[in-house]
Amino acid sequence: MGLFSKLFVFSFFVINMALHAAESSPNTPLPEDMSRSWIADGRLTEDAYSLLTAIRADSSILCSKERYSLERIDELLQKSSLSENIEIGLNTLLNRAFSLYVSDRRKGCLDPHRIYAGQIHIDERVKRAVAEGESVLLRRLEDALRRYERVEADGGWKSVPQISGLLKRGESSSVVRSIRERLFQSGDLNDSDFSNTLFDGSVEEAVKLFQRRHSLKSDGIVGPKTLAAMNTPIGQKISLIKLNIERLRWLTGGSEDFIVANIPEFTLTLYRGGSPSLKMKTVVGRKERPTPMISDLISYAVLNPYWRAPETIVREDILPKLKAGRFDYLEEIGITVGRGVDGNDSVDMRGIDWSRYDGADIPFIFMQKPGPRNYLGFVKFMFPNDLDIYIHDTPESRIFKYEERTMSSGCIRVQKPVELFHALFADEESGRWSYKEIVKEIMRNREREVGLAKPMPVYILYMTAYADEMGRVRFLPDIYGYDRMMRSYIDNFTGAPEHAKTAFFK
């Protein structure tokens, strides 16, 4: 077994040992029943050496290794003999390093709420409810990180010379040799004949794959954008992968069955047994109303839901229409006005002087009845959270034809809501929902809440770098600037102890 394989196994060993202990703050002492003896007969145990080796070799940890007090541990190990006091101190340091390393592997080393205040929701029930270990998304990206680091250690990607104009299939150029080698290094091309100067079909297909992985137009033609992506230093890609690994550690757990919506990819995927079983397009929040990152549990769905307008939509969308007297339009789409918490005490919107209100002091509830024009469509999937975000259908199916789909007010709109409902509820003991039963219930046009016997982990992620089932890394645009925010935080990582400062760019 190679070094990285041993370290990978050991990392799961330490994580599993401290699974429950790590729920507490990593800066507090380990519970008495979790304290370990790392010294036997005056010498470090094999586990102690494995722990120290794993920590030193683990480049996926975003923060500085100084946080583990490795230098102090080395100083104590240099003593010619370990007195009882030194053994106690050394054992304490090793236990703290163990606890902190486990926490960093499971939950990341940075505080997500300081970086993304108001734009992240993490329900700790998810970590407790799912299986031990790392998510398949995290494991794949960690594997990719090791591959990229091996390429970097070997000197990085070969630079492709600048060209004037475009290179495409059927053309010959000495630059094609460099393109072949570059694409071979990144796994996009299988042919290792770098002497061939012909831009043939295999090179064209490799270029298309490279372009898809980098969110470029997949036309198989090498132009300025494709060339720039090829010549991006591998160190920048490694830094981006590490950012995404950290975010995955905040949000994901070890369940093999889960839903993931990747914001910058505009997709939602249902995983069963660690493999994708259903994938669809999504619409996410507009840049001024970005979709937050969320880790939670889907506990129920609603067929034929009522839509209750949130404060921002009342203020920015509905109130201007009321002030303009567009009552017919609001009534046509099923908007009703009511008082009280549930909005049941209905009032006539035409008999109210709306010019008196600015949006912050409106004493009314705005709701939309179930129906084909309901903003939530026919289905919504609920994981109650303080950001009021959920996944739902939409009556505007045309919007899925666009490439960039930042069009919602923050919630996730899905392309195949009925298919997702069926996939989640088909085998539920409460109903065993067939497609026929789902459509039949929708046709009744009455709101119905359907509980999920075993809540499903749902992760709304911001993965600008992820590894697919083939291990290929896909890079996506930073549509909300969340990467930029994280890098800015890292660059200005103040107010933390010196040992906790990041080593992101070291």
- Annotated domain spans of the chain: 3-109, 110-133+253-306+376-506, 308-368
- How high is the pLDDT of residue 80? 64
Lowest mean pLDDT of 5-9, 324-328, 443-447, name the range.
Answer: 5-9
- Of residues 84 and 268, the one with the higher pLDDT is 268
- How high is the pLDDT of residue 4? 43
- How high is the pLDDT of residue 131? 60
The stretch 392-400 carries a mean pLDDT of 95
Q: Which sign, positive or negative, has the C-alpha torsion 151, 241, 408, 280?
A: positive
Residue 281's nearest CA partner among 299, 263, 295 is 263
Q: Evaluate if residue 202 carries a pLDDT over 60.
A: yes
Report the predicted TM-score, pTM, of the whole model to 2 decimal places. Answer: 0.87
CA 379 to CA 415: how far, in whole Å? 11
Q: Evaluate if residue 200 carries a pLDDT over 80.
A: yes
Q: Evaluate if residue 132 carries a pLDDT over 80.
A: no
Q: How confident is the model at residue 37 (pLDDT cuts 50, 70, 90)?
A: confident
457-503 per-position pLDDT tens digit? 999 999 999 999 999 999 999 999 999 999 999 988 644 444 444 44
Lowest mean pLDDT of 68-72, 222-226, 356-360, name the range.
Answer: 356-360
Q: Evaluate if residue 226 carries a pLDDT over 70.
A: yes
Q: Evaluate if residue 383 carries a pLDDT over 80.
A: yes
Residue 391's DSSP bridge partners are: 381, 412
Lowest mean pLDDT of 19-23, 126-130, 147-151, 464-468, name the range.
Answer: 19-23
Q: How confident is the model at residue 429 (pLDDT cuts 50, 70, 90)?
A: low
- How high is the pLDDT of residue 342? 62
Asked if 274 contacts 135 with a C-beta cutoff of 8 angstroms, the reply is no
Three-class SS state of 461: strand
Q: Which sign, positive or negative, has the C-alpha torsion 416, 418, 419, 423?
A: positive
- How high is the pLDDT of residue 127? 76
Asked if 139 contacts 225 with a C-beta cutoff of 8 angstroms, the reply is no
The stretch 134-152 carries a mean pLDDT of 95
Q: Evaluate if residue 8 carries a pLDDT over 80.
A: no
Q: Which residues are catalytic?
A: 392, 411
- How high is the pLDDT of residue 40? 87
Q: How confident is the model at residue 27 (pLDDT cuts 50, 70, 90)?
A: very low
- How high is the pLDDT of residue 17? 46
Three-class SS state of 125: helix
Lowest mean pLDDT of 19-28, 272-281, 357-366, name the range.
Answer: 19-28
Give 128-187 as a DSSP string: HHSPSS--HHHHHHHHHHHHHHHHHHTT-PPPPPP-SS-B-TT-B-THHHHHHHHHHHTT
Residue 66's nearest CA partner among 56, 76, 75 is 56
The stretch 433-446 carries a mean pLDDT of 93
CA 175 to CA 161: how far, in whole Å? 6
Q: Evaluate if residue 111 carries a pLDDT over 60.
A: yes
Top mean-pLDDT range of 8-22, 41-55, 211-225: 211-225
The stretch 368-384 carries a mean pLDDT of 94
Q: Evaluate if residue 363 carries a pLDDT over 90.
A: no
- Of residues 27 and 149, the one with the higher pLDDT is 149
Give the amino acid at 98: F
The stretch 129-135 carries a mean pLDDT of 74
- How high is the pLDDT of residue 411? 96
* DSSP code, position 21: G
Cβ neighbours, 10 Å, residue 113? 13
Q: Which two tokens stand for residue 259?
A: 């839903």
CA 137 to CA 126: how far, in whole Å? 16
293-317 per-position pLDDT tens digit? 999 999 999 999 999 888 888 888 8
- How high is the pLDDT of residue 358? 83
Q: Evaluate if residue 427 carries a pLDDT over 50.
A: yes
Give the amino acid at 88: I
Q: Evaluate if residue 340 carries a pLDDT over 90.
A: no
Q: Evaluate if residue 201 carries a pLDDT over 60.
A: yes
71-82 per-position pLDDT tens digit? 999 999 887 677
Q: Which architecture, in CATH terms, is 110-133+253-306+376-506?
A: Beta Barrel (2.40)
Lowest mean pLDDT of 126-130, 175-179, 185-189, 259-263, name the range.
Answer: 126-130
Q: How confident is the model at residue 451 (pLDDT cuts 50, 70, 90)?
A: very high
